[in-house]
Amino acid sequence: MKIISFDGNQIGISDGQFVWSAAGLLKDGVPWPPVSAVRLINEFDTLRDSLRGLLHTEPLGPLDSVRLEAPVPWPSKLIAYPANYVSHNDEMHTGNRADVNGFFLKSPSSIVGPHDAIVLPDISGAEVHHECELAIVIGKSGRAIPRGYGRDHIFGFSCLIDVTVRGQQERVMRKSFDSFCPLGPWVVTADEINDPGNLEMRLSVNGEVRQGANTKDLIVGIDEMVCMASSVMTLFPGDVIATGTPGGVGPLAAGDQVEIWIEDVGSMSVPVRKGSAVDNRAFANRVAGG
Ligand code: MN
């Protein structure tokens, strides 16, 4: 099943061609904070049959008749694993590895949808890079989840671009600008992905392929990423895990069009535009790297 958000925090499902609203299945939908997706994921076991039943009713309209938004716009956490592909670690000349250094947090407010632009902060001399990543969306709460049981806590998967200012500033600051986390176009439920540890993925800029990899090359795999995060903090339904980027990262410029595709998950193409100047002394004092 493909879970979508659209047209002002409405929640629904799609078959890739048409759209059905699930508003009638949720008790009291509210426009803000946009947590309908989190509630749907939390209640999914009881809603599953009703949601499937929607597919046999008259759709709201074709998929392109609505404006898709981030499928999970308000997760309690956006967890990210850096240095999780050898090909990326090599290009960054870093000795960091996800199995040694673990994960970090990126601001959930950086999440935008498949029809939103990546807005580049105007920081003199700074490069802003694209990182092509598979996103895990948590389905069931868990703490200290044993190895081998992480997958039981996964609701589904999505495409994620981890946009990053390169530099020596704290990672959370470089990666948390508004719009720095395009997510979408939907969450594909885990039952539709045969093996998340063997998915081809690709990212292109203006039609030119920049990143191509397979999730089988992850250093810390899908199951273990869930377990490792849960060894520190309780995972909640809707939490998003960015699983790391393969080699081929590079700078984005205003006017670029960035397309991400992940096998069996989906694709989305987002524009890049110029933002305003950043009044932040840490970026003014920037040095290269990171
Ligand atoms: Mn990343």
Residue the block writes with tokens 């008790």: 27
How many A from CA of 132 to the centre of ligand 1?
7
Residue the block writes with tokens 């020596």: 168
- Sort 272 into a burial class: Cβ within 10 Å, 0-12 / 13-18 / 19+: buried
How many A from CA of 131 to the centre of ligand 1?
6
Q: Helix, strand, or coil here: 174?
A: helix
Are 96 and 83 contacting, i.e. CB atoms less than 8 angstroms apart?
yes
- Sort 178 into a burial class: Cβ within 10 Å, 0-12 / 13-18 / 19+: middle
How many A from CA of 110 to the centre of ligand 1?
13
How many A from CA of 137 to the centre of ligand 1?
16
How many A from CA of 62 to the centre of ligand 1?
33
How many A from CA of 242 to the centre of ligand 1?
7
Confidence of residue 130 (pLDDT cuts 50, 70, 90): very high
How many A from CA of 104 to the centre of ligand 1?
10
How many A from CA of 70 to the centre of ligand 1?
18
**Helical residues (DSSP H) of the chain, grouped into ranges:** 36-42, 44-54, 86-91, 98-101, 171-174, 222-230, 281-284
* Model pLDDT, residue 23: 86
Of residues 290, 270, 244, 282, the one with CA closest to residue 70: 270
Q: Helix, strand, or coil here: 102?
A: coil
The pairing of strands 266-277 and 118-122 is parallel
The pairing of strands 2-6 and 118-122 is unpaired
Q: How far apart are CA 172 and CA 159, in angstroms?
A: 20
Q: How far apart are CA 274 and CA 218, in angstroms?
A: 33
Within 10 Å of residue 62's Cβ, how many Cβ atoms? 11
pLDDT in tens, 137-148: 999 999 999 999
Q: What is the pTM of this model?
A: 0.95
Residue type for 11, please?
A: I
The better pLDDT of the pair 33, 65 is held by 65
Q: How far apart are CA 260 and CA 131, in angstroms?
A: 10
Residues with CB in 5 Å of ion ligand 1: 131, 162, 245
How many A from CA of 97 to the centre of ligand 1?
12
How many A from CA of 19 to the centre of ligand 1?
31
How many A from CA of 55 to the centre of ligand 1?
35
How many A from CA of 275 to the centre of ligand 1?
21
CA 204 to chain centre: 17
Structure tokens at 253: 């410029």
Average pLDDT over residues 128-139: 98
Structure tokens at 200: 């081809």
Residue type for 37, please?
A: A
How many A from CA of 158 to the centre of ligand 1?
14
pLDDT in tens, 55-90: 999 999 999 999 999 999 999 999 999 999 999 989
Whether the per-residue pLDDT at 27 is higher than 80: the answer is no
pLDDT in tens, 149-202: 999 999 999 999 999 999 999 999 999 999 999 999 999 999 999 999 999 999
Q: How far apart are CA 173 and CA 105, in angstroms?
A: 10
DSSP structure class, residue 255: T
